[in-house]
């Protein structure tokens, strides 16, 4: 098959002023033109050109100020591309919630279904190369049967079948994705968001030892979850597997998850390095490098911004350190909520994550007395996902205000709970920002706007550069190794490359610096 979006030729011109986010991708802005039969290759099933039209750059030019849509972004282009592919695959012309099962009733190709869910759900953020690599590695699944299209379906192609539709979808994704990727790169370079020479691009640029290496992390910690949980960075793949696929040398690296302290294995020589969290002090002979950031967020039930009373609105999207200390030490908080929320019961939650609880005690409670009262309270302790569901049910079904805390990496790309801005002293700081640069607010549609928000790197005070009030509940994730360990030092360097940082961000962590999404 041949795919030749005109954007490719435009964007490849050095210094082109035409490359930019599309901002208006839909079935109406794409024109698929079959290649004349005489020009088709004998061994190809289908050949066509994809023409992309109606860029937001000119379509939105004459809209009145009050009707201006959000600024076009690469992240939203990928979300829109996912919906276009869904519509072509299913014959539906609507934009349903792709996380539900009902829209996929006629789709039997599970790998493609999962990929389109990730694409339409904003899981790839603006990383077109990561999306392209995931698409290229999708396993092929033959269709089981073709179901009758729904009554409101679009008119199907002549002689169409599930196989033809999948070829069309894959071709569209490949062609348009490459074109947008080239365009975005040119746009990023011109807008000053291009790569800095101080940071290597790729894992393969790092001199990783091509020998057997053993490394470790703690069971139940953030690293074991980030490394071993599938579907965080690619369909049916964990971060550990993805790293090995990106660089063959990492196939000789073996991860051991230990129940106790990971540093002991590094000290004894059983492991070359450990992935863990920042220590204020280390045993002699060990060194730590920060490779990513995370943080704690305070969560309450997410409510549709159109409802009369929601918890985020009642709290004005903010909670202070003093209110948190009052809540988690058994003291009634000093707030006044609008009726009827003022009379509701408060239910406290915490995650079954000892490290996260220790961070909360150190950063929020701070004193021995407060920590003792906190530990004596009957606080519900649950896995993060179950806690989020309970908090939402508290609000929807039990007239209860559920409040909990969890890791930022567990809160991104879900919409059961809303992360409150935290006020320590001075102005409140929101850990999550929209792609346009503004923090989320209680009126932000977390369910409908997936892909348009992510961790706000600026407030995590990366690289020692204060561009905004720093987020007070951040944490640092590290690689710890013996000072003479080449394997540990180079693995940390690999995670700090642009490619390594992009993978860590896709897994839910905060990168050390803004990335250009190449």
Q: What is the pLDDT of residues 408-454, one digit of tens each?
A: 988 887 889 999 999 887 788 999 887 666 788 888 888 876 666 78
Point out which residues pair with 286 in neighbouring strands. Answer: 482
List the Cα angle 416/474/216 in 5-degree steps: 95
The Cα–Cα gap between 490 and 496 comes to 10
Classify strands 432-434 and 453-455 as parallel, antiparallel or unpaired: antiparallel
Q: Quick one: pLDDT band at residue 236, thresholds 50, 70, 90? A: confident
Is 304 in the same domain as 407?
Answer: yes
Using DSSP, state whether 505 is helix, strand or coil: helix
- Take residue 40 and report the two structure tokens written for it: 């088709």
Is 100 in the same domain as 220?
Answer: no
pLDDT at 407 over 80: yes
Measured from the Cβ of residue 254, the count of other Cβ atoms closer than 10 Å reads 11
Using DSSP, state whether 37 is helix, strand or coil: helix
User: Are 177 and 81 spatial neighbours (Cβ–Cβ below 8 Å)?
Assistant: yes
Compute the half-sphere exposure of residue 202: CA atoms within 13 Å on the CB side of its CA. Answer: 7
Average pLDDT over every residue of 200-223: 90
Q: What is the pTM of this model?
A: 0.60
The Cα–Cα gap between 384 and 412 comes to 12
Average pLDDT score, the chain: 78
The Cα–Cα gap between 474 and 454 comes to 15
H/E stretch holding 255: strand 253-258
Residue 259 covered by a domain: yes
Q: Quick one: pLDDT band at residue 7, thresholds 50, 70, 90? A: very low
Spatial neighbors of 219 by CB under 8 A, at least 6 apart, are 257, 258, 259
- Take residue 250 and report the two structure tokens written for it: 């990492």
Using DSSP, state whether 291 is helix, strand or coil: strand
Range of the domain at 290: 203-294+478-506
Residue 492: what pLDDT? 95
Is 75 in the same domain as 178?
Answer: yes
- Reference 49, options 61, 28, 33; nearest CA is 33
Point out which residues pair with 33 in neighbouring strands. Answer: 49
User: Are 277 and 453 spatial neighbours (Cβ–Cβ below 8 Å)?
Assistant: no
What do you get for the CA distance between the two ends of the chain, in Å?
25
- Take residue 107 and report the two structure tokens written for it: 């789709």
Is 140 in the same domain as 239?
Answer: no
pLDDT at 169 over 80: no
The Cα–Cα gap between 399 and 419 comes to 20
The Cα–Cα gap between 410 and 492 comes to 23
User: Are 415 and 389 spatial neighbours (Cβ–Cβ below 8 Å)?
Assistant: no
Is 34 in the same domain as 156?
Answer: yes
CA 314 to each of CA 17, 71, 73, 91, 105: distance values in angstroms, whole numbers, following the listed order: 46, 29, 31, 42, 39
Range in 249-253, 392-396, 421-425, 466-470 with the lowest mean pLDDT = 466-470
H/E stretch holding 479: strand 474-482
Residue 513 covered by a domain: no
Residue 80: what pLDDT? 84
CATH code, domain with 415: 3.40.190.10
The secondary structure of the chain in percent helix, strand, coil, rounded to multiples of 5, reads 40, 20, 45
- Take residue 343 and report the two structure tokens written for it: 């009379």
Range in 32-41, 129-138, 414-423, 431-440 with the lowest mean pLDDT = 32-41
The Cα–Cα gap between 409 and 455 comes to 9
Is 160 in the same domain as 300?
Answer: no
- Reference 299, options 196, 452, 223, 402; nearest CA is 402
Residue 12: what pLDDT? 35
Is 405 in the same domain as 501?
Answer: no
Q: Which of 190, 217, 239 is the last residue of a domain?
A: 190
Is 336 in the same domain as 410?
Answer: yes
Residue 212 covered by a domain: yes
- Take residue 385 and report the two structure tokens written for it: 């996902």
Is 75 in the same domain as 39?
Answer: yes
Is 15 in the same domain as 150?
Answer: yes
Is 283 in the same domain as 312?
Answer: no
The Cα–Cα gap between 508 and 407 comes to 10
User: Are 463 and 265 spatial neighbours (Cβ–Cβ below 8 Å)?
Assistant: no
Residue 517 covered by a domain: no
Q: Quick one: pLDDT band at residue 334, thresholds 50, 70, 90? A: confident
The Cα–Cα gap between 291 and 285 comes to 20
Point out which residues pair with 30 in neighbouring strands. Answer: 52
Number of structural domains the chain divides into: 3
């Amino acid at each position: 098959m041949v795919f030749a979006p005109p954007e490719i030729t435009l964007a490849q011109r050095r210094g082109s002023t035409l490359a930019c986010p599309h901002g208006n991708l839909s079935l109406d802005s794409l024109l698929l033109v079959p290649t004349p039969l005489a020009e088709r290759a004998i061994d190809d099933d289908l050949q066509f050109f994809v023409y992309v039209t109606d860029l937001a750059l000119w379509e939105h030019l004459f809209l009145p100020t009050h009707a201006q849509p959000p600024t076009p972004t690469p992240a939203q282009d990928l979300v829109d591309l996912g919906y276009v592919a869904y519509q072509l695959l299913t014959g539906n012309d609507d934009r349903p919630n792709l996380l539900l099962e009902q829209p996929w009733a006629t789709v039997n190709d599970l790998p493609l279904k999962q990929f389109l869910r990730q694409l339409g759900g904003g899981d790839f953020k603006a990383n077109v190369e990561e999306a392209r690599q995931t698409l290229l590695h999708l396993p092929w699944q033959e269709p089981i049967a073709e179901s009758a299209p729904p009554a409101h379906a679009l008119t199907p192609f002549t002689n169409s079948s599930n196989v033809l539709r999948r070829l069309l979808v894959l071709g569209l994704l490949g062609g348009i994705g490459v074109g947008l990727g080239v365009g975005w790169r040119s746009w990023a370079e011109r807008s000053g968001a291009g790569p800095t020479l101080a940071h290597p691009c790729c894992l393969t640029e790092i001199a990783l030892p091509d020998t057997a290496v053993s490394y470790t992390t703690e069971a139940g910690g953030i690293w074991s979850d980030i490394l071993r949980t599938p579907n965080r960075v690619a369909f049916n793949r964990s971060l550990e597997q993805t790293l090995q696929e990106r660089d063959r040398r990492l196939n000789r690296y073996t991860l051991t998850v230990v129940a106790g302290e990971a540093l002991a294995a590094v000290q004894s020589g059983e492991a070359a390095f450990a992935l863990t969290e920042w220590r204020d002090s280390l045993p002699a002979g060990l060194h730590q490098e920060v490779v990513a950031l995370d943080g704690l967020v305070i969560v309450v039930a997410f409510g549709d911004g159109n409802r009369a009373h929601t918890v985020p609105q009642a709290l004005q999207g903010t909670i202070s350190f003093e209110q948190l200390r009052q809540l988690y030490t058994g003291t009634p908080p000093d707030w006044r909520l609008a009726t009827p929320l003022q009379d509701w019961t408060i239910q406290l939650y915490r995650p079954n994550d000892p490290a996260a609880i220790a961070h909360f005690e150190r950063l929020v409670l701070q004193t021995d007395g407060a920590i003792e009262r906190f530990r004596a309270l009957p606080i519900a302790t649950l896995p993060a996902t179950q806690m989020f569901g309970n908090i939402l049910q508290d609000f929807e079904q039990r007239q209860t205000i559920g409040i909990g805390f969890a890791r930022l990496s567990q809160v991104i790309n879900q919409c059961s709970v809303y992360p409150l801005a935290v006020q320590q002293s001075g102005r409140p700081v929101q850990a999550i920002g929209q792609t346009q640069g503004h923090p989320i607010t209680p009126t932000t549609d977390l369910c409908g706007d997936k892909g348009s928000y992510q961790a706000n790197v600026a407030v995590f005070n990366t690289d020692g550069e204060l561009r905004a009030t720093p987020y007070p509940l951040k944490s640092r994730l590290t690689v710890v190794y013996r000072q003479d360990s080449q394997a540990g030092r180079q693995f940390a360097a690999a995670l700090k490359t642009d490619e390594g940082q992009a993978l860590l961000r896709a897994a839910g962590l905060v990168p050390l610096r803004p990335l250009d999404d190449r």
